[in-house]
Amino acid sequence: MERTRRSSPISPPSEYDKGGSEDFSALRRLLLSPEQVQLDRLRQRLDTFVVGPQEVSRVLPDAIRLRARQDNRLLASMLPITQEALALSIKQSPQLISDSLAPILGSAIRKAISRAMREMLQSLNQTLEYSMSWQGLQWRWEAWKTGRPFVEVVLLHTLQFRVEQVFLIHKKTGLLLNHVMAEGISSQGEAAISGMLTAIQDFVRDSFQQSQDEGLESLRIGDLTVWIEQGSAAILATVIRGAPPVKLRDVLQNTLESIHAQYSESLQHFQGDDSVFLETRPFLEDCLQAQFVKKRKGLPVAFWVLSVLLLALLGWWAYQASLNHQQWTELLKRIAAEPGIVVTSIQEEGGRRVFHGLRDPLAVDPERLLEEVGYPPHAAGFHFEPFIALTPEMVYTRALKVLQPPESVSVSLDGDRLMLMGKSSHAWMTRVDQAHFSIPGITEVSMERLIDTDVKQFETLREDLEGQTILFLAGQGRLTDRELVKIQQVKHILQELDKKAMQLGREPSIYLMGYSSPVGSQSTNVSLSEMRAQKVLEILSESPFQVLKLSAIGKGVDPDVESVAAEGQGYSASRRVSFKVVEPKITQTREVGARTGR
């Protein structure tokens, strides 16, 4: 109104009145009279002009819009009034404000809480699900090793994909309009990252001569993917861990489109003030999606492995128990059948089964039985008192142990009679004769079928000796060289015989009987035969004998001279010395007694 008044072309009339003359005034009245009236009316109207509400209401909306576009002075002027009005309104009628805000705030709060709860529950579920499993233990180990929280390790392993960060970037300047992060992600200079993402896009676009509308769509490093959605004025960059599904692209595109639709003006005229884009947060939060690996339905592998192990263990235990039982039964059977062992009781002592009873020292060692049946030695013990068993087996064993027969002798037991068969030395037979009394259970030893090898050899030597003849020439007591050699052989036989007789405890007498041919007189022949016997005795007596007693006897004319002569040998065979072994009767009797036993 002031401006209107200042810019009016009409000056106050008083100024003209002062400077003009009467004539001029008259002239002016004549010339401008009608216009003057109009001007006066106009001035009067302007002086009394008041802008009414109606006029203001017509221009106000446009005026505010124009002014707001021009600068923010209107906003600055209105801000304190609006704030005061709002404060007053809240003070006076809080219900009204509360009712008005409830639909907006309620929904927002509900959404925020449910989101927070969902994230928390998901994280809790994941943690619980894996905390007690084998996998969980491995992850715990990994967490401990890497120093990261267990929850984070679980998340990394069970994650199929998760949008970790969302950047809303102004396309032209690369400035960050808004940014949201998933829970647990730490911020790391988003403003610079935002710029760098834009720069990299420019770099790639320039390097490969792509048009301005083209842009990078995705970057990938390790299990991290950056998906970039290009809008006309803004870019939506999402940092995703894992393998995102294609449908996530739709979500991102829709989000960017919604933001463009709602903030088109702000994006176009963006001058660096990002406060207006704070409201885009819900849009961006909708992009913070995640999907976790579904745990396999059914029982986990660990369960099966454990079951198999358990079954195997059970099977092994059952097998061991059965084997143990079998071994025990076998052991009982063997011990019961074993001669020389009498079990009186079996007692459990300190986790061992201890056998009590009697055991012949010659019976088998029970520890060996354990070994043979495979029963664990630590599970059994023996406490046996010694005794002498009179079972045939033990009597037989004891006899063998005491007598120790040579291999050429077979031993058998017939009741209480020990039967010996085969060949043995005279010494062993003598020992049997003396020792069998000390073997309990044996009352008689039969040696009828036992050949005394020493006696046999003695007899052979005797026969050999008695078959020998030393021949002399007719009418002489002299020996030829050939006969001297024969005498040496006889001497050797005698030595063997002497040795054997000593072994047998015999003292045989050897008669050297001299003979002569019938030629010549009786007396000559007798003395000749004595001379001959004496001659051989002399030679044979050169070396002494232990037990043999040699004596020379002159027998005179050979009684068998006729039969010898008839054989065509003449009388040469009669001029000889023969041998005869003679044993005393008493020795003979003792030997017979030893052979027959008692």
Partner 1 sequence: MIQKKICMLGGFAVGKTSLVKRLVSGIFSDKYLTTVGVKIDKKSLSVQGKELLLVLWDLYGDDDFQKVRASYLQGSSGYILVIDGTRKETVDVACKLHDLAQKTIGPVPFVLLLNKHDLVDEWVVECPMVSDLSDQACFVSMVSAKTGEGVEAAFSALSEAMLKF
> For residues 268-287, which are near partner 1 according to CB under 8 A?
271-275
**Distance, CA of 228 to CA of 193 (rounded, Å):** 13
Stretch that binds partner 1, among 81-89, 203-211, 532-540, 566-574 (CB under 8 A): 203-211
- Name the minimum Å distance from CB 216 to partner 1: 13
199 binds partner 1 (CB under 8 A): yes
193 binds partner 1 (CB under 8 A): yes
- Name the minimum Å distance from CB 14 to partner 1: 47
Question: Phi first, then psi: what are they for 550, rounded to 5°?
Answer: -95, 135
Contact with partner 1 (CB under 8 A): which of 78, 156, 175, 346?
175
- Name the minimum Å distance from CB 53 to partner 1: 38
Contact with partner 1 (CB under 8 A): which of 195, 339, 392, 518?
195
- Tell me whether residue 163 or residue 169 sits nearer to partner 1 (CB atom): 169
Contact with partner 1 (CB under 8 A): which of 125, 173, 327, 408?
173
- Name the minimum Å distance from CB 272 to partner 1: 5
The DSSP letter of residue 296 is P
233 binds partner 1 (CB under 8 A): no
Residues in CB range of 452: below 8 A, 6 or more apart? 424, 425, 426, 429, 595
- Name the minimum Å distance from CB 258 to partner 1: 23
Q: Which residues of 301-338 are buried (b: 16+ CB within 10 A; e: fewer)?
A: eeeeeeeeeeeeeeeeeeeeeeeeeebbeebbebbeeb
Long-range contacts of 153-158 (CB under 8 A, 24+ apart): 154/126, 154/127, 154/130, 155/123, 155/126, 155/184, 156/241, 157/130, 158/126, 158/130, 158/292, 158/293
196 binds partner 1 (CB under 8 A): yes
- Name the minimum Å distance from CB 70 to partner 1: 16
- Name the minimum Å distance from CB 184 to partner 1: 19
How many CA atoms within 13 Å lie on the side-chain side of 15?
3
- Residue among 166, 167, 170, 168 at smallest CA distance from 267: 170
- Name the minimum Å distance from CB 292 to partner 1: 30
- Tell me whether residue 250 or residue 279 sits nearer to partner 1 (CB atom): 279
189 binds partner 1 (CB under 8 A): yes
188 binds partner 1 (CB under 8 A): yes
Strands 469-471 and 576-582, sheet pairing: antiparallel
Q: Are 555 and 529 in contact (CB under 8 A)?
A: yes
Q: Are 419 and 413 in contact (CB under 8 A)?
A: yes
Question: Phi first, then psi: what are they for 385, rounded to 5°?
Answer: -85, 145
Contact with partner 1 (CB under 8 A): which of 41, 58, 73, 172?
172
Q: Would you tell me which residues interact with partner 1 (CB under 8 A)? A: 170, 172-176, 188-189, 191-196, 199-200, 202-203, 205-206, 271-275
